[in-house]
Amino acid sequence: MTKQPTQALKSSVNSYLMARVHAELQREKVDKIQRHLLESTSYFADAELTGRRGLPTERITDPKLTYLMKDDESVDYLLDLKAELIKAGYEIKSVEGEPEHHYFCPALVAENLQNETEHLVIDSMAEMLGEGDDFRHKLLCAGLDKYKEFLDLAVKFVVNSPGFKPINL
């Protein structure tokens, strides 16, 4: 007899799929704003930092390389980015008690939500399989590739099950 997904697993997969779409859309929008800002303003990599890593000191145009900026330039960049995000219609929440350049990036918030829903899927699948409470921890210890593979298999198990109806996005 083949097992069928539990309602908890179906619900967690639906939540994960919605969170994943949301995270991908937010990342795309925020990256576009970041790239535009980096292309229209000159921010440079910290020579001391890049020199130690064997990287060239050059103008930063890729959002993934903003960590290479000097601290003071990074603060300016984050404040400029915050202003651009607000102009684009985002409501930016600051971190209470922290400087103005500490705020919640919409893409990172969405990616965090996706990560939390991944945990729900894995925990629901583990419960259905009769695994212990520490299954997710053991899975992560087996490596990120195994974690992602298990998540992918759990999602496929649900979406390919008879009668599965995804929540309309």
DSSP-assigned beta bridge partners for residue 69: 45
The pLDDT of residue 44: 87
Spatial separation of the C-alpha atoms in residues 59 and 23, rounded to whole Å:
28
The pLDDT of residue 128: 94
- Close Cβ partners of 147 (under 8 Å, ≥ 6 residues apart): 122, 139, 140
- Close Cβ partners of 28 (under 8 Å, ≥ 6 residues apart): none
Does residue 49 register a pLDDT over 90?
no
Average pLDDT, the chain: 91
Asked if residues 21 and 28 have their Cβ atoms less than 8 Å apart, the reply is: no
The pLDDT of residue 56: 59
